[in-house]
Amino acid sequence: MSAQRTSLYDEHVKLSAKIVDFAGWEMPIQYKNLKAEVEAVRSNVGVFDVSHMGEFFIEGNEALKFTDFLVTNDIANAELGKAIYSPLCREDGTIIDDLIVYKISENYIMICVNASNIDKDFDWIESQIEGFDCTLKNRSHEFSLLAVQGPNTVKALKSIDLGCELKDIDYYSLQVEKLDMQEIIFARTGYTGEDGFEIFGPHKYIQNLWSQLVSIGAEPCGLGSRDVLRLEVGYPLYGNELNDEVTPLDSGLKWTVKMSKTDFIGKKALMDYKPNFRLVKLSLDKGIPREGYQVENEAGTILGQVTSGSMSVVLKKGIAIARIKKDLYDAENQFFIDIRGKKYKAELNKKPFVAGGHK
């Protein structure tokens, strides 16, 4: 089966982007310079094509009730117009995916899922909907998606023709517009830690926005810089920090599991669950940690392994998130990362490596 292409594929080729296969899509990993892309997002504005993500819509009298049952976070009590991050779990508490729920109205909800999990997620959600008065549609093919990120995002978006007025909405909130009878969704969300908007819309609308943004100097950014940016602010990635074998309680996501809810899929298992792992943030003055590298203590005991690692553009040193066995974790111990047979001393970071600047 050939890889899919987003509606912006030709634009990436024109800009000489390096294209790679990602979750069955031909996506730009970087343009001219990954460092420049990261710096643009931290200090100015960058634009990402993330149209490979999936969009599901749940509609009907019990759309809210079903969505609240489906995920671990509290959707029912969130205000209308909010975006809510949440894991999607099985009955045993393991993570199927992490996603964002967009509470457009009581009867109309959008869920954005990771590109690599679109089919898996849709099959799971569809298998759970029986008995609820609502419908589920996979409308991923109808939407392209831009992430516009950086401290000058609002200034940039207000300087181009959006076809509507962009409102000063709160962080993790959304604005829904209808242009030519088609939905445009502006969400003040992102995966970089900076202020920004993710804009869902028809392909031609998003193509036009991309062209306008690039023409005013927004830096085109690929998946490589996106990964560095999210790692600098400590955001987890499905397939790295999150997977089918771990629960939210193993993954620093206890805050997304609302045990006060009457019920949700996985609640019973998670109520009695004792975490096996802990995610830690480690930085190195020398060496670049990579996924799969072992983490040890001073005595050489293997504590766990790196789930994500890279060179931080902002800090100019190696940074990593690692999954550590909870019973071996001791904040007072020294951590080492084994890089090709040589052990590098690592510093434990309690806070994100980079603070970010979201609203």
- End residue of a domain, out of 140, 172, 190: 140
Q: For residue 184, is it within any domain?
A: yes
pLDDT for 353 equals: 98
Full DSSP string of 71-100:
BSS--TTSPTTBEEEEEEE-TTS-EEEEEE
The answer to the question of residue 246 being in a domain is: no
Q: What percent of the chain has pLDDT over 70?
A: 100
For residue 99, list its beta bridge partners. 86
Last residue of a domain, one of 140, 166, 191: 140
Q: Do 68 and 213 reside in the same domain of the chain?
A: no
The answer on 224 and 176 residing in a single domain is: yes
Q: Do the domain assignments include residue 4?
A: no
Say whether both 188 and 69 belong to one domain.
no
Q: For residues 323-341, give the mean pLDDT.
A: 95
CA distance 16 to 28: 9
Q: What is the mean pLDDT of residues 192-214?
A: 98
* Residue 337 · residue 291 · CB < 8 Å: no
Strand pairing class (219-221; 302-311) = unpaired
Q: Is the pLDDT of residue 1 over 80?
A: no
Statement to judge: residues 47 and 162 lie in one domain: yes
- State yes or no: pLDDT of 31 exceeds 90: yes
Q: What pLDDT shows up at residue 277?
A: 98
Let me know whether 110 and 149 are in one domain: no
Read off the pLDDT of each residue in 74-78 and give the average, rounded to a whole number. Answer: 98
What are the tens digits of pLDDT across the range 11-29?
999 999 999 999 999 999 9
Strand 219-221 to strand 46-49: parallel, antiparallel, or no bridges (unpaired)?
parallel
Residue-range definition of the domain harbouring residue 66:
55-140
Q: Mind listing the pLDDT tens digit for each residue in 217-228? A: 999 999 999 999
Mean pLDDT along residues 149-178: 98
pLDDT value at position 333? 87
Same-domain status, 159 and 211: yes
Whole-number pLDDT of residue 67? 98
Residue pair 314/230 in contact (Cβ under 8 Å)? The answer is no
The answer on 128 and 72 residing in a single domain is yes
Answer whether residue 111 is part of any domain. Answer: yes
Counting the structural domains of the chain, the total is 3
pTM of this structure = 0.97
Question: Does residue 40 lie in a domain region?
Answer: yes
> Quick one: pLDDT band at residue 272, thresholds 50, 70, 90?
very high
Contact 83, 174 (CB under 8 A): yes
Q: What is the CATH number of the domain that holds 67?
A: 3.30.70.1400
Same domain, 162 and 96: no
Residue 354, in any domain of the structure: no
Model pLDDT for residues 38-60, shown as the tens digit of each residue: 999 999 999 999 999 999 999 99
What is the spatial distance between Cα 221 and Cα 32, in angstroms, rounded to a whole number? 9
Residue 245 is assigned to a structural domain of this protein: no
In a domain, residue 31? The reply is: yes
Out of 88, 108, 140, a domain closes at: 140
Average pLDDT over residues 169-191: 97
Segment 124-149 mean pLDDT: 98
